[in-house]
Amino acid sequence: MAVAAANRSWWFRIKRALLYLFIFQLVYIVLLKWVDPPITLTQLTAWVSKDGLRRNYVRADQVAPYARLAVLASEDQLFVSHSGFDWERIQKAFAYNKRKPNRLRGGSTISQQTAKNVFLWQGRSWVRKGLEVYFTFMIEWIWGKKRILEVYLNVIEMGPGIYGIEAAAQRYFNKPARKLSRYEAALIAASLPNPKKYRVQPASGYMQRRASFIVGQMHHLFYDDAIRALIENR
């Protein structure tokens, strides 16, 4: 009887702790709809490593529309139409990675990347991917597209130890993010698949060609009414 009572007591404590954890994370997600993340695990790792940490969060209206358009063109052209997941893209990435396990390709949307960078850690474990699905669903539901894109542009790594579009604009072009040109924004976006490998400055021939391709994609996307409503400062 004593053992059974002790087991019930432990089970009750575990359930209560899980309930408190759920409430805490839900409150945190809601709070981040208006408040910038204080620091992320990825940024903390960079801070204690040799990369250091450069970041400067800015509001959406302090970022050139070109910057938002560039990351959409480069990373997630279906951002305005999906609910957080591009299933066709995920399936293609899964098939590619199965064929070439030594050259992994990501299939994450901007929503998934934001969820991972704000709430989780880097890695490819099934536990992290499962949590990523949960947090992606939650920010799509609670934040909405404009806020997701705003946070993404503030927290994503854009070079070794460089986080966010403002820090990147200052580091690479000595100007604020609101003054980035179309090509400059595309050049930053071109580095996002692997910002430690693909350097914005000095830009390699590959980076210049990729940036030019992104500029072309930006031109086509701009005529989509839903995308234009998302990127404009209004």
The tens digit of pLDDT for each residue in 14-57 reads 888 888 888 899 999 999 999 999 988 888 888 888 778 889 99
Which pLDDT value is given to residue 106? 56
Residues 105-142: tens digit of each pLDDT: 457 899 999 999 999 988 778 888 889 999 999 999 99
Phi-psi region of 174 (alpha: psi -120 to 50; beta: other; left: phi over 0): left
Run of H or E including 231: helix 225-231
The beta-strand segments (E) located in the chain are 54-55, 162-163
- Running DSSP on this structure, what letter comes out for residue 157? B
